[in-house]
């Protein structure tokens, strides 16, 4: 399966209850960063960047569809939300 770490992240943090649990996709990603170990974080960071390279020119609806295929239940309303999630995933853990 392509993107196994990303799939786990999306299912675990961007699910049906994300809005009530975290409020935003960015806050969910920040929670993931703080709760994950370094290898898990690095895997999700790498797979997120790889996916973005695949879909960067796609319309937002197509990106949401692709993320839904991976288990995401959050629907991004605009590209800024995607950029905020990307920024949150770039956070480096303090060793």
Q: Give residues with Cβ within 8 angstroms of 47, minimum separation 6.
A: 3, 4, 5, 6
Please give the residue range of the domain that contains residue 77: 4-89
70 assigned to some structural domain: yes
31 assigned to some structural domain: yes
Q: Give residues with Cβ within 8 angstroms of 58, minimum separation 6.
A: 66
Domain total for the chain? 1
pTM: 0.92
77 and 16 Cβ atoms separated by less than 8 Å: no
For the segment 33-66, what is each residue's pLDDT rounded down to a tens digit?
A: 999 999 999 999 999 999 999 998 999 999 999 9
76 assigned to some structural domain: yes
For the segment 19-33, what is each residue's pLDDT rounded down to a tens digit?
A: 999 999 999 999 999
Q: Tokens 């049906």 map to which residue?
A: 16
95 assigned to some structural domain: no
34 assigned to some structural domain: yes
12 assigned to some structural domain: yes
94 assigned to some structural domain: no
């Amino acid at each position: 399966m392509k993107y196994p770490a990303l799939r786990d992240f999306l299912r675990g943090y961007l699910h049906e209850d994300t809005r009530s649990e975290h409020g935003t996709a960015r806050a969910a990603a920040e929670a993931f960063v703080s709760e994950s170990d370094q290898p898990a974080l690095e895997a999700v960071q790498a797979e997120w960047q790889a996916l973005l390279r695949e879909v960067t020119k796609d319309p937002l609806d197509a990106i949401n569809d692709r993320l839904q295929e991976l288990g995401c239940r959050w629907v991004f309303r605009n590209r800024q939300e995607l950029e905020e999630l990307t920024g949150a995933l770039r956070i480096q853990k303090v060793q």
